[in-house]
Amino acid sequence: MSYGFLDVAITPSVRAVQAEMGGDRFWANFKGHREFDRFTEGEAAFIAERDSFYIASVSENDWPYVQHRGGARGFLKVIDDRTLAFADYRGNRQYISTGNFAANDRACLFLMDYPRRARLKIYAHVETLALDADPALTELVTDVAYKAKLERIFRLRLKAFDWNCQQHITPRFTEQEIATAIQPLRERLARLESENAALRSRLEIPGEN
């Protein structure tokens, strides 16, 4: 049966380790059809909520490189059910990922939702585009409020994706998520302080400190 992500990930050496650890029987007996080669509304919604992801590339000397990418929520755009894109702004000017993709267009992305302990992993082919190569795409992915120099656009063609289980994902929360969660407590505290002040004023005896 097809299992798109593992069809890419599993090599003879991986199969050898699976056999050594007794995991080969589990995947050999897999009953199902999971090509996962097109994003559904579920994946699109998940991607739209992310404000960061990790992307891995491979250099010409076969060393992997993992880079963290961050931005405003939804900066990684779902163009269609097999295409992603994002704007590449100037950073430390090492250009390691960009150089790697020029030699090998294969990439793997990890998108994390720490509060809900969810992880989406994606295999894709990366295309580097000049800003004037596709003006409509450039406009779509550009964040005019982001004060950094836009250098290029990355367009990603989906190969396969998969979801991981929640095991071993430690919940973490952003400042905004924490602020949103405790806002009702802040409002209740403000009401109680106001009520307390009103009660104190009623108990005060005129002319006494």
DSSP SS3 for 179: helix
Which residues are within 8 A (CB) of 48 and not within 5 positions of it... i.e. 6 or more apart?
73, 74, 78
| 1 and 78 both lie in a single domain | no
Lowest mean pLDDT among 12-16, 51-55, 132-136: 12-16
| 92 and 129 both lie in a single domain | yes
The number of folded domains in the chain is 3
Distance CA 108, CA 96 (A): 15
| 2 and 42 both lie in a single domain | no
Rounded average pLDDT over 35-44: 91
| 131 and 58 both lie in a single domain | yes
Is 90 exceeded by the pLDDT of residue 209?
Answer: no
| 184 and 166 both lie in a single domain | no
Which residues are within 8 A (CB) of 88 and not within 5 positions of it... i.e. 6 or more apart?
98, 150, 151, 152, 153, 154
Distance CA 148, CA 139 (A): 15
Q: Any alpha helices (H) in the chain, and if so which ranges?
A: 4-9, 12-21, 24-28, 41-48, 96-103, 135-141, 175-203
Domain range for 177: 173-209
| 42 and 26 both lie in a single domain | no
Q: What is the CATH number of the domain that holds 52?
A: 2.30.110.10
pLDDT at 23: 81
pLDDT tens digits for 150-171? 999 999 999 999 998 888 999 9
